[in-house]
Amino acid sequence: MEPFYYGPVPVEHDVLLAYMQANGVIELKPYDGDYEGEYIEPVKQFNPDLFTPDELKIMTDVAERFADCRATDMTYISHAEEAYEMTDMKETIPYDFAMHLKACR
């Protein structure tokens, strides 16, 4: 199975994960459940000083909005977005779509 079969991922997803892992920021742990996969566990304490107030607000809003969502929920949510519907499989989704996300209104 391809690493991003289940949904959109950031550009250079594997590079980002490898960098964070190599620098002791995260650990990848096997997911113990009904589905095959892994989850990301933070190793270092979050440092809010690295972000602007606007970036912190966005992260807080997103975390609160999706706090109770499971992976399958996120699949349905992301697939209902114009960004998903208007972009071909494995094509980079332009960030312009972020301004119109239904799930974040």
According to DSSP, residue 83 is labeled H
Tokens representing residue 37 in the block? 């996969």
Point out which residues pair with 38 in neighbouring strands.
30
Global pTM value: 0.69
Question: d(Cα 37, Cα 3) in Å, to the nearest integer?
Answer: 9
Point out which residues pair with 27 in neighbouring strands.
41
Query: What is the per-residue pLDDT for 36?
Result: 78
Query: What is the per-residue pLDDT for 95?
Result: 84
pLDDT string in tens for the chain (105-residue length): 444 555 677 778 889 999 999 999 999 999 887 777 888 999 999 999 999 999 999 999 999 999 999 888 988 898 899 988 888 887 888 888 888 888 876
DSSP secondary structure string for all residues of 74-98: HHHHHHTSHHHHTS-TTPPPPGGGG
Question: d(Cα 41, Cα 99) in Å, to the nearest integer?
Answer: 29
